[in-house]
Amino acid sequence: MVTTHIVHFLSEGVQCEGDLTLPDGFDPEGSYPAIVLGHGFTINRISLVEEGRLFAEAGYVALAIDYRCFGGSGGEPRGHVDPLDEVEDIRSAVDWLETQPGVDPGSIGVWGCSFGGGIVTHAAADDMRIKACVAQTPILDGDFWIRSLNRETEYQAIKSYLIDYRRARASGKEPEERYAPMGGARDDGFTPMPLDPVMVEDSTGWFAKTGQLLMDGAPQVTVRTFEKMMQFNAVYDAAKIAPRAYCIVQFTGYDVYHPNTLIQHAYRSAGEPKEMVSIPIDQLD
């Protein structure tokens, strides 16, 4: 039977928390492959319990982490996403894992879902210790992602809003963080991630079923999150991973939140060995 322990490690001085799941009969004198699991946009490692168990049952030491500012990890302001900070959290988890008894430091991989798929792709591109990377329905370009969820006029309004907010912070007129609800609008109309109408009608939709349950308190993030996120692009980082292994898992059913266009670009740019796994599943399943 697999066992899970809560562990802590430092990432640029911030204490991060994770669930370390060990294979059945784990022997600290052994040499097991290991994997770091990264969660998606704004959620936390609670979403990775099943994945951690499955990897451990397959013989891996699995470490599912909370990025800074989410879940049990430290970091302020809460609910703030900076993709490059999250990349550093993944790499710091590798730092910690490779020193643990029973872990083979030459056999460490990473796995990430949704925006976490972009995070682990970027981390693997620059860290030769990461021997394999799996990106499940990855969001690889934050700007493209937000643009795909909005009409062009709305996208331009989002960009203008973020510039105005930046000016307000620079002038000292806005010293406190602004927050934006997920799948809804601020009182001032800022709506970077509108809910898909199908998901609004379906009470089992992602935000209703998963997102609101897993985020810290109220399902909201800092407005600065979108400024940082829209600067992040890991599409061509995939080309830097070879000759280490890269795998993309894509959904081919109804899925408005994980556009396949850039997934195809990333896969084409990646060197061998690589694999594309297509699953005919709807986002609402």
CATH 1.10.3720.10 fits 3-143+231-279, yes or no: no
| Cβ pair 188, 221 in contact under 8 A | no
Residue 210 confidence (pLDDT): 47
CA atoms within 13 A on the CB side of 6: 9
As to burial, measured by CB atoms within 10 angstroms (0-12 exposed, 13-18 middle, 19+ buried), residue 153 is exposed
pLDDT band with cut points at 50, 70 and 90 for residue 212: very low
Helix pair 115-126, 83-97: axis angle to 10 deg? 60
| pLDDT at site 73 | 97
Q: 214 pLDDT exceeds 50?
A: no
The overall pTM is greater than 0.85: yes
**pLDDT at residue 164 is higher than 90:** yes
What would the mean pLDDT of 95-122 be, rounded to a whole number?
A: 98
The ranges assigned to domains in the chain are: 3-143+231-279, 144-229
Mean pLDDT of 95-116: 97
Neighbours of 82 (CB within 10 A): 20
Distance CA 138, CA 40 (A): 9
Pairing state of beta strands 61-65 and 14-22?
antiparallel
Q: Which of 72-81, 173-182, 228-237 has the lowest mean pLDDT?
A: 173-182
Q: What is the mean pLDDT of residues 144-172?
A: 96
